[in-house]
Amino acid sequence: MSAAPNQGEIRVIGLGPGPAAWVTPDADAALADATDLIGYIPYVERIPPRAGLTRHATDNRVELDRARHALDLAKAGKIVAIVSGGDPGVFAMAAALFEALDHGSPEDRALRVSIHPGISAMQAAAARLGAPLGHDFCAISLSDNLKPWDVIARRLKAAAEGDFVIAFYNPASKARPQSIFDAFALLKSLKAGSTPVAFARAVGRPDEKIVLTTLAEADPATADMATLVMIGSSETRFIDKPDGGRWLYTPRSYGARP
Ligand code: SAH
């Protein structure tokens, strides 16, 4: 059977880190005429109910099931919005959708798909902190649900060796309180104790909290699953703010001293 074009489509939409002002007009437009909304419960709850929109909220651990559900709805002619926090391509649903398409049928792959970007947590955190991502950086998810700890440890070592600024996503959860402690222990053995560290929690939300410290002083227990942890490079530094606080930034050129 040939893959007939179908009215249905899938839009994978980034909702940003929290506030409505950080949702792009493109994301809003992509949501406006969707018939079905799929995502992890807290993200789906951010979209107000309206006539003509069916909301399907699911638990976080079932990304592939969620993607397959979206494909089934789209094949039935629905306009399906899959929502993610932050950017949908950063540790989120867009990749899960492509996995489902990759392993799916010709009918699945005939569907129209579009990806609508959002502000990722590391960008929102960086804006609050100053400009820590001003030079080369990498992002590492500490979730070992989806990859073994050996892989995380190898990447951490390489990131430290390469002197990248590191943004940690998924630093801890109730099921995995240990990862962030293991990550800090490893980094402390590889980087200077004076390396700046920031814990940026719930950025853009009412319960936002920023903690600035150093690798030697950092308490890994400060991080929970709503926290983005930023580890500086050898160049990253603090400068004073007029209100007594501090900015964190990484200079644009490597090795330059003001
Ligand atoms: N797609 C998302 C990331 C999903 S992974 C994005 O691009 O941001 C979930 C992790 O993102 C959380 O464990 C946390 O580390 C980070 N995160 C998401 N929203 C955040 C926020 N408002 N403040 C700080 N970190 C956040």
* Positions in the chain whose pLDDT score sits under 50: none
256 is a domain residue: no
CATH code of the domain in which 180 resides: 3.30.950.10
Distance 76 CA to ligand 1 centre (A): 32
Nearest atom of ligand 1 to the alpha carbon of 122: 8
pLDDT of amino acid 174? 77
Domain that holds residue 26: 9-119
Among the candidates 87, 119, 151, a domain finishes at 119
The structure's pTM equals 0.94
Residue range 240-256, pLDDT digits in tens: 999 999 999 999 988 87
Best of 22, 145, 228, 231 for a ligand 1 pocket test (most atoms within 8 Å of beta carbon): 228
Q: Do 147 and 233 belong to one domain?
A: yes
Among the candidates 119, 142, 163, a domain finishes at 119
Q: Do 127 and 244 belong to one domain?
A: yes
Long-range contacts of 146-152 (CB under 8 A, 24+ apart): 149/179, 149/182, 152/179, 152/183
Best of 90, 91, 142, 205 for a ligand 1 pocket test (most atoms within 8 Å of beta carbon): 91
Residue range 94-122, pLDDT digits in tens: 999 999 999 999 999 999 999 999 999 99
pLDDT of amino acid 60? 61
Residue type, 92: A
Nearest atom of ligand 1 to the alpha carbon of 229: 15
CATH code of the domain in which 49 resides: 3.40.1010.10
Q: Do 94 and 193 belong to one domain?
A: no
Among the candidates 71, 92, 119, a domain finishes at 119
pLDDT of amino acid 237? 97
Pocket flag, ligand 1, residue 92 (CB < 6 Å): yes
3 is a domain residue: no
Pocket flag, ligand 1, residue 84 (CB < 6 Å): yes
pLDDT of amino acid 143? 85
The residue whose CA is least distant from atom 18 of ligand 1 is: 121
Label the pairing between strands 112-116 and 9-14. Answer: parallel
The residue whose CA is least distant from atom 9 of ligand 1 is: 170
Residue 210, exposed/middle/buried by CB under 10 A (0-12, 13-18, 19+)?
middle
